[in-house]
Structure 1
Amino acid sequence: MMRAIRAEKARRAAEAERERIAKDAERIRARCQTLAGFVREAWHVLEPRAQYTHGWHIDAICQHLEAVTDGRINRLLINVPPGSSKSLLVSVMWQAWEWGPRGLSSMRYLTTSFNDGPVKRDTRKCRDLMLSDWYRSLWPEVELNRTGETSFSNTKTGTREGVPFGSLTSQRGDRLVIDDPHSTETAESAADRLATTRKFREGAQNRLNDQEKSAIVVIMQRLHEEDVSGVIAEVGMEYVHLMLPMEFEPDRACETEIGFKDPRTEDGELLDPQRFPREAVEKLKRDMGSYAYAGQYQQRPAPRSGGMFQRGDFEVVDAVPAGAKRVRAWDFAASKEKPGKQPDWTVGLRMAYFKGTLYVEDVDRGRWSPNEVNTKLKNHASQDGPNVTIRTPQDPGAAGKADAETKVKILAGYAVKVVPPTGDKATRATPASAQAEAGNVKLVRGLWNKEFLDEVCSFPNGQFDDQVDAFADALNELALGSSFTFDNF
């Protein structure tokens, strides 16, 4: 009896919904001409128990997806915090919108995530949305003729295939949607991370039907400096990058090629204070820890403040006072690449000391061949002049000694000191950390400032530490090679 009553209630509710849609169909279709409007209208179908809460970040994501639909861009990277409805927008709503309101029912999608759990979940949601009375009443021309657990198709040759990222082979699409290629459980594993980034570089690009017209959309939270987002930036892939941290950081304010600019202005201003009020954000910070929060919520997989150095400790100035004592310290890249890591950098950092203050004057950083390194050594020595001490490290073993002797010959006529490294990197950087915290280290304004601060302030959790090594060696050389000590800095 109760089952029959529930069935009758469901039937009447469905009938009432159909009548409502029929009466208001034109208005609904008009609002659904934009993806953001479609999201508002369709939300109740997928989330009947959760009231829709709009935010400007949803508009931002939708605007960039519309730019893909319109053919204005074909490579898009989106970094947003968990809980931003990213999967619902990109892996569910966008595809239903293109097939229905935009009339692109022949479009073929290949969607993927770190495992088959999210793949099945989003395939089911997208399929159920298209099979709903609401959607079919408004866009009856979209008829599904195959409805599998991880794939479905329509009568206009449109398809949606879902596969785990590790199985991204054989299928192709007009849209490749990569939604969280890394798992939070394995992103810290160099082997797993490298396998994922290799799959992205070597496999994802080949999954498109048309290299010029087809599109790749990557949407993810940051989990490590060497994750897929990091590789896109490191390699210089031409992706439009929408980056929205939970808390606004003015020096990282996002602007994109389609004219978008993060509307926030105050440091620390929240992305979505309705869904994530300040109290909730502070609890996340406390419970997750600064490293995890910085990556997943700030889209910066190393704390901006924390570790051994903090950005607020470094003042940027325009020049060094006359009469300063100077040293240029070098840190040379390893001759062989480390498994699971991108190549290290060679760094030449010049530092000056004057009346208790240290000035980082210049940083030259690059991935150079041995011959190019030797040329850099000679050129910088010539430009710096004979009064600037040159400090170079000596790697252990006969090869390290021979390489050091070669560099001394190249730098004949200049004041050169070859110093074998002692202790671990963090120990060698401790004096530099103490001087920075005391306010005794300043940076001379230059294009290198941002990269230097990004690396130093992520140490020791960051991907690279070459600038830190050169920074620490230069400071230690000025202290040990002079009449002053750290006590009278």
Structure 2
Amino acid sequence: MLRAERARRTQQAERDRVAKDAERIRAKCQTLSGFVREAWHVLEPTAKYTHGWHIDAICAHLEAVTDGRINRLLINVPPGSSKSLLVSVMWQAWEWGPRGLSSLRYLTTSFNDGPVKRDTRKCRDLMLSDWYRSLWPEVELNRTGETSFSNTKTGTREGVPFGSLTSQRGDRLVIDDPHSTETAESAADRLATTRKFREGAQNRLNDQERSAIVVIMQRLHEEDVSGVIAKVGMEYVHLMLPMEFEPERVCTTEIGFTDPRKHEGDLLDPVRFGPEAVAKLKRDMGSYAYAGQYQQRPAPRAGGMFQRGDFEIVDAVPAGAVRCRAWDFAASTPKPGKQPDWTVGLRMAYVDGLFFVEDVRRDRWSPADVERNLKNIATQDGQMVRIRMPQDPGAAGKSDAHTKVKILAGYDVKVVPPTGEKALRAKPASAQTEAGNVRLLRGPWNDAFLDEVCSFPNSQFDDQVDAFADALNELALGSSYTLANL
């Protein structure tokens, strides 16, 4: 009885406080960021609210969705950034209450039903709290299930695991972590998730023009949902906030936001994640996991065998260079659960002890397209550029190599069967790069080349690495395997 009486008095005191200060609270809650500050104590009564500029950034982009300025939003932020609380809980309560949009219908999802149930309960409990009901009594819930609820003005919230994203529609589709850290490394699971996103998520909206999709997640793999959005060229506004600032990756978005940090290594939230905490995360997680989840780059900036900082980009190659174009041909049959490999032709120049990657041709060509491009590119390069090609094992590989050599009649061609592990073949290239002897000629292919090379040997693709290593080995060492072996 005493505990019940204390609880009753506490609730009454809160109601009296809110009633006395209602106008100020409502005024503060006109912005989503202000609503987060005011409502925090309802959801986290024992945890002190710590504000950060990244919360303002996330809220500003969600407000842009509410205002109709954008209808596709991708947010990449580290764990511990209150992302689920902001996007999957607070935003809906704010739109229904302070913004008066209680007829909006939400469809929320995550990699399994655990986070879905958790965030649905939190959102429902916030709207049922004395604090919320006294401020926005017009939001009246008439159904309060564990994974779905609704109000008297036709607004609904339906929560489902991402794999069950069918037969539901909404004005807001919120996708909060579609991948789990356990399954993102599985090619089959990852491909199933990205296929579901491309084929199933897009038609879950009530109105393709006015309804919105918000994806918020940490990066877990090059080919995760975020990677697919970028690769396909989907028109998403992309808010990307790494834990440690990298000036060359500064985030600027269409609504006028720019990451306010100025110096290399500036932390996203130094109050909650200071230098010691970040250093411990790096040590305990390892560089690869930290790079994806906290830096929003699913490979370490320093890479495995290659580091981005060791590749200088230049505008010209000195005169007197000798050149080689090394080819790496895609396998004719893709591996199960994996996207087809690329065919890559990389041209390298060597002069005065320096190696210059001049050009990279990369595409998924049919066998006929490979032969046509092989001849066309050789014509563009000229007869002074040596051509190095791999030979697949077996009679079929030998026959294919012989066909390509005939197509390139009149050119200096070498056919070399790949030997040893890929990482072993790449060691000379790694050593020369680390020594500062490798340059890249400025071109549109630079970013894709660096992304793959600097995540090797843990990237999904390594075709450019193979061509890079083969070209450097040819120019530095030559090859004892010549056309006479055919």
Normalized against structure 2, the TM-score is what? 0.96
- Matched with 1:486 is none
Identity %: 86
- Matched with 1:97 is 94
Task: State the Cα distance separating 1:482 from its structure 2 match.
Answer: 8.4
Runs of 4+ in structure 1 off by over 4 angstroms are: none
Pairwise mapping of residues 286-305 of structure 1 onto structure 2 (< 5 A)?
286-305=283-302
- Matched with 1:337 is 334
Pairwise mapping of residues 206-355 of structure 1 onto structure 2 (< 5 A)?
206-355=203-352
> 1:457 is matched by which residue type in structure 2?
C
> 1:97 is matched by which residue type in structure 2?
W
Aligned length, in residue pairs? 480
> 1:81 is matched by which residue type in structure 2?
P
In structure 2, how many angstroms separate the alpha carbons of the residues matched to 1:447 and 1:306? Answer: 21
**TM-superposition CA deviations, 1:257-296 (whole Å, max 9, x none):** 1111111111111000011000000000000000110111
Normalized against structure 1, the TM-score is what? 0.96
1:395 aligns with 2:392: yes
In structure 1, how many angstroms separate the alpha carbons of the residues matched to 2:370 and 2:254? Answer: 36
In structure 2, how many angstroms separate the alpha carbons of the residues matched to 1:343 and 1:265? Answer: 40
Picking from 432, 436, 441, the partner of 1:435 is 432
- Matched with 2:379 is 382
Mapped contact 2:73–2:215 kept (Cα < 8 A): yes
Q: Against the structure 1 CA distance between its residues 313 and 448, is the aligned structure 2 distance closer, same or farther, given a 3 Å change threshold?
A: same
- Matched with 2:483 is none
In structure 2, how many angstroms separate the alpha carbons of the residues matched to 1:409 and 1:368? Answer: 19
In structure 1, how many angstroms separate the alpha carbons of the residues matched to 2:168 and 2:311? Answer: 51
In structure 1, how many angstroms separate the alpha carbons of the residues matched to 2:110 and 2:325? Answer: 47
Mapped contact 2:252–2:259 kept (Cα < 8 A): yes
- Matched with 1:452 is 449
- Matched with 1:487 is none
**TM-superposition CA deviations, 1:9-37 (whole Å, max 9, x none):** 22122112111111211111111111111
In structure 2, how many angstroms separate the alpha carbons of the residues matched to 1:454 and 1:338? Answer: 22
Between stretches 97-106 and 412-421, larger displacement belongs to 412-421
Q: CA RMSD in A?
A: 1.4
> 1:12 is matched by which residue type in structure 2?
R
**TM-superposition CA deviations, 1:329-387 (whole Å, max 9, x none):** 11122222222222222211111111211111111222223333233222221221111
Secondary structure in structure 2 of the residue aligned to 1:305 = coil
1:35 aligns with 2:32: yes
**TM-superposition CA deviations, 1:458-486 (whole Å, max 9, x none):** 00011211110100000111123289xxx
Task: State the Cα distance separating 1:170 from its structure 2 match.
Answer: 1.2
Mapped contact 2:18–2:131 kept (Cα < 8 A): yes
Task: State the Cα distance separating 1:407 from its structure 2 match.
Answer: 1.7
Task: State the Cα distance separating 1:179 from its structure 2 match.
Answer: 0.6
> 1:31 is matched by which residue type in structure 2?
K
- Matched with 1:412 is 409
In structure 1, how many angstroms separate the alpha carbons of the residues matched to 2:126 and 2:93? Answer: 8
**TM-superposition CA deviations, 1:300-353 (whole Å, max 9, x none):** 111111411111222222211111111011112222222222222221111111
Task: State the Cα distance separating 1:399 from its structure 2 match.
Answer: 2.8
Picking from 147, 151, 165, the partner of 2:148 is 151
Mapped contact 2:416–2:479 kept (Cα < 8 A): no
Between stretches 271-280 and 437-446, larger displacement belongs to 437-446
In structure 2, how many angstroms separate the alpha carbons of the residues matched to 1:111 and 1:402? Answer: 54
**TM-superposition CA deviations, 1:218-272 (whole Å, max 9, x none):** 1111111111111111222111111111001111111111111111111111000
Mapped contact 2:188–2:338 kept (Cα < 8 A): no
Between stretches 41-50 and 207-216, larger displacement belongs to 207-216
Picking from 158, 161, 167, the partner of 1:161 is 158
1:466 aligns with 2:474: no
Between stretches 81-90 and 390-399, larger displacement belongs to 390-399
> 1:337 is matched by which residue type in structure 2?
P
Q: Which runs of 5+ in 1 are unaligned?
A: 484-489
Secondary structure in structure 1 of the residue aligned to 2:282 = helix
- Matched with 1:77 is 74
In structure 2, how many angstroms separate the alpha carbons of the residues matched to 1:241 and 1:402? Answer: 48
- Matched with 1:359 is 356
